[in-house]
Amino acid sequence: MPGLNGLDVQGEMSRKGIQMPIVFLSAEGDVPSTARAMREGAIDFLVKPVDEEQLLEALERARLQAVTVRQQQHLEKEADERLARLTKREREVCELVAQGLLNKQIAYELGMSEKTVKVHRGRVTRKLNVDSVAALVRLMGNRISRS
Domain ranges of the chain: 6-80, 85-141
CATH architecture of 85-141: Orthogonal Bundle (1.10)
User: Which phi and psi angles does 18 have, rounded to 5°?
Assistant: -85, 115
pLDDT digits (tens, 9 = 90+) for 17-71: 667 888 888 888 788 888 888 887 788 889 889 999 999 999 999 999 999 988 9
Categorize the per-residue pLDDT at 89 as very low, low, confident or very high, splitting at 50, 70 and 90: very high
Q: In whole angstroms, give the CA distance from residue 50 to residue 43.
A: 15
- Does the domain at 6-80 match CATH 3.40.50.920? Answer given as no
Q: What is the pTM of this model?
A: 0.63
User: Which phi and psi angles does 145 have, rounded to 5°?
Assistant: -80, 125
